[in-house]
Amino acid sequence: MKKNVAATFRRYMPLIPAAAAIFGSAALTSGAGAETRVAAGGTLVFATGGDGASDKLEIAAVNADGRGFRKLTHILPPGIEPRWSTDGRRIVFLTEDTFTEDEGNWRMDADGGHRQRLPGGAWDVPSPSGNFVHIYDRIVDASGKVVRHLRPGLRREDFYGGPPLWSPDGRFITINVIKVTKQGDPGGVWIDVIPTIERGRGVAVTARRYGHYTGALSWSPDSRRMLVENQPARSFDWYTMAPDGSDRRLLFRTRRELSGNHAWSPDSEKIAYVGVAGGIFVVGAKGGRPRRIAATRTRGRYVSDVRLDWSARGEIAFTDKGGTYVMGADGTGLRRVSKRTGDPHWSPNGRKLVLAEAKQIFVIDRLGRERQLTRWIADGEPQVSSDGRRVTFVRGRGVYLESPSVYVMNSDGTGRRRLGPGERPRWSPDSSRIAYVQDRAVPENDQIFVADAGGGGTRAIANGEEPAWSPDGRLAFMRYDYVYEDRGEHGGPQWYLVKSTLLTANADGSGERSVAAFDADSDEGPIAASAPAWSPDGRTVALVFGGSVVLVDAVDGTRRALAGSSPDTLEWSPDGSHILARNYDTIWVIDAATGATTKILELEKDEFQDATWSPDGGAIGFVRCNLDEDVCDVYTVAAQAGAKPQRLTRTVVIERNLDWGP
């Protein structure tokens, strides 16, 4: 424990960040000062991250004046560390946000319904019933109302060494307290026990002395004893004791640290645990000789992956290589009930297990039949149709949209329909079709599909990427040629880009024609031509190559290079006179005729994620991210130098994938 708590200690304080800390304070070197209202109308759609603790990504919209924020899709939160309430009617679980790394407590019915966010975060621990939450010096109910005030008794130099532990009967809360020296090192660990009565005061039940490291691991099911780990010099001791620290019984002593994974028998008389080198052992709760009841395939430094629980029916469930297993308390009757792995917890009646795998929660019965309660899915890449009536977007696994599929829905979020596997959808000018890309294992085999937005079918039309519609309904797209080889200093055999080709084709795939080819070789490594954007008059395709904006004649392929600055994205103004360009710290506008550039905004720090024109071309919408706070919000700004940005969203996490529709 000494080694572990030294790396993880932190002072426990309820954090209520000031608005400046939440939303950031990075200045814009161009356009600083008071916000300027943008006269442009329309609706901005984007992916939003929710509350910053639930690991959700949903499609939202806001009016151009900053009013009317609304969700168009609604994602249920994924989950980790599920456990049953004492009555077996609910499951309490945690969510962990990928972007902020913050955590939240939730509860839901045993069938996955009626999900409710509970107060607090990861170290604000729900009671065994799931009806209350301990938050430092108080106990609150599920709505956040304070029902008990406590007196933890922590001093200035005292820190929490981990989440508190509720006794199963709810009468006590145990805290492992770390005393920190002036040099910032852990000087000792002891156990405080707080009765959950009004004004209950924490009492140290183990020695509060320098160099002593003693921490509680769990309570017995009957709430009469605690399992404790102590670390005297060069050894690790496990023992049990009464809640007041009396009647200490040594279970065993080992030279090597245990993983800590264990489970009490339902009668509180025995403890099963994972051995130092693997295997599952059982020892009496008041001492005796440990006995190995099962071997594990997981051994050595990976034994911490073996988790276990002991059911009211006397069966032990544990995870090992290959899945989750169940056996009798003596190790007999071993059988695999699931190929899934996680931290299994038995329901109070011993008939079902709940566990989480890849942030998805499953309930599994003793015969191996399972039910999935949560799914880790997210929505992104929204695009508004030109008539403003529909939105296409991508739904995938996790916030990085793995295994993505393209969907279309009405602009109010109704009528959602899946088109097929793919990503990066783009509307045709007449709002009748959607082009999107399916990635393949071999990069040069990526395919472009075109779907009838009204449900008339989908077809593959070409190999390529980054489709862009022309005003008359043709497509421009990129095709990349690769070679698989070992170039030594670049890290072994892999795919290397050798050529980028800009092509055009009709929407049904006919009439495919190569317009311009770009050699990928350079002193800095392979360079791709990317981000094609078709001019409103249908004569020119703008793209990025070698850090510059290049205009390509759509008929004869002649090229004209404009500004550099390595933009990530390009978009023509509605009237075709200018090109909007963006990279991570600058937004600028390029005169398509002269090549003259106008810098709209530049960040001293932080980052731009997206930029898009308003439907009338008079304004620009963009996403700005405060990298220190993991916060991204939507802004608008007039399309002129010196204009003052207007902030439209103020969420606690991210927005991204911005589009502006009518």
If one compares 41 and 356, the residue with the highest pLDDT of the two is 356
* Residue 224 Cα distances to 135, 170, 268, 431, angstroms: 24, 12, 9, 68
Mean pLDDT, residues 369-380: 95
**What gap in Å lies between CA 293 and CA 331, rounded to an integer?**
5
**What gap in Å lies between CA 375 and CA 130, rounded to an integer?**
22
If one compares 249 and 161, the residue with the highest pLDDT of the two is 249
pLDDT at position 34 is 52
Query: In this predicted model, what pLDDT tens digit does every residue of 449-480 receive, in sequence order?
Result: 999 998 889 999 999 999 999 999 999 999 99
- Residue 246 · residue 230 · CB < 8 Å: no
Among 12-26, 44-58, 623-637, where is mean pLDDT lowest?
Answer: 12-26
If one compares 162 and 167, the residue with the highest pLDDT of the two is 167
Mean pLDDT, residues 427-438: 97
User: Could you count the other beta carbons within 10 Å of the beta carbon of residue 398?
Assistant: 17
pLDDT at position 38 is 63
Secondary structure (DSSP) of 161-195? -S--EE-TTSSEEEEEEEEE-TTS-EEEEEEEEEE
CA 214 to chain centroid: 34
Query: Two tokens at 38?
Result: 């943008």
User: In the structure, what pLDDT confidence band is assigned to residue 28 with cuts at 50, 70 and 90?
Assistant: very low
User: In the structure, what pLDDT confidence band is assigned to residue 599 with cuts at 50, 70 and 90?
Assistant: very high
Beta partners for 385?
none
Task: Provide the 8-state DSSP code for 136.
Answer: T
Average pLDDT value for the chain: 89
**What gap in Å lies between CA 229 and CA 212, rounded to an integer?**
11
Helix (H) or strand (E) holding 316: strand 315-320
Percent of the chain with pLDDT over 70: 93
- Residue 175 · residue 163 · CB < 8 Å: no
Mean pLDDT, residues 100-129: 93
Half-sphere exposure of 235 (CA within 13 A, CB side): 6
Show Cβ contacts of residue 386 under 8 Å, excluding neighbours closer than 6 positions.
427, 429, 430, 431, 661, 662
Show Cβ contacts of residue 5 under 8 Å, excluding neighbours closer than 6 positions.
161, 162, 176, 178, 186, 189, 213, 215
pLDDT at position 5 is 31
Mean pLDDT, residues 72-94: 95
Residue 430 has pLDDT above 90, yes or no: yes
* Residue 290 Cα distances to 318, 388, 542, 554, 576, angstroms: 18, 70, 73, 79, 79
Mean pLDDT, residues 90-107: 92
Query: In this predicted model, what pLDDT tens digit does every residue of 304-339 receive, in sequence order?
Result: 999 999 999 999 999 999 999 999 999 999 999 999
Query: Two tokens at 338?
Result: 């699931």
Q: Which long-range contacts (CB under 8 A, 24 or more apart) does 491-499 make?
A: 495/442, 495/443, 496/526, 497/526, 497/527, 497/528, 498/526
Identify which of 274, 248, 253 has the alpha carbon closest to the alpha carbon of residue 263.
274
**Three-state SS at 298:** coil
User: In the structure, what pLDDT confidence band is assigned to residue 33 with cuts at 50, 70 and 90?
Assistant: very low
CA 491 to chain centroid: 30
pLDDT at position 207 is 86
Residues in the chain: 662
Among 38-47, 343-352, 577-586, 607-616, where is mean pLDDT lowest?
Answer: 38-47
pLDDT at position 490 is 61
pLDDT at position 159 is 86
* Residue 608 Cα distances to 66, 567, 568, 619, 635, angstroms: 19, 11, 10, 16, 10
SS (H, E, C) 535-596: CCCCCEEEEEECCEEEEEECCCCCEEECCCCCCCEEEECCCCCEEEEECCCEEEEEECCCCC
Identify which of 561, 537, 562, 541 has the alpha carbon closest to the alpha carbon of residue 552.
541
Q: Which phi and psi angles does 455 have, rounded to 5°?
A: 105, 15
- Residue 356 · residue 363 · CB < 8 Å: no
pLDDT at position 209 is 78
User: Could you count the other beta carbons within 10 Å of the beta carbon of residue 193?
Assistant: 23
Residue 7 has pLDDT above 60, yes or no: no
Beta partners for 580?
571, 589
Strand order from edge to edge, sheet including 125-126: 125-126, 132-135, 138-141, 146-151, 200-201
Percent of the chain with pLDDT over 90: 74
Q: Which phi and psi angles does 277 have, rounded to 5°?
A: -105, 15
Query: Two tokens at 87?
Result: 């009555």
- E-assigned strand segments in 329-369: 335-338, 345-346, 352-357, 360-365
Query: In this predicted model, what pLDDT tens digit does every residue of 148-159 receive, in sequence order?
Result: 999 988 888 888
Beta partners for 326?
317, 335
Mean pLDDT, residues 382-404: 95
Task: Provide the 8-state DSSP code for 454.
Answer: T
Residue 482 has pLDDT above 70, yes or no: yes
Show Cβ contacts of residue 582 under 8 Å, excluding neighbours closer than 6 positions.
567, 568, 569, 588, 608, 610, 611, 622
Task: Provide the 8-state DSSP code for 2.
Answer: H
pLDDT at position 27 is 31
Residue 633 has pLDDT above 80, yes or no: yes
pLDDT at position 15 is 27
pLDDT at position 30 is 38
CA angle (151 as vertex; 145, 157 as ends), nearest 5: 120
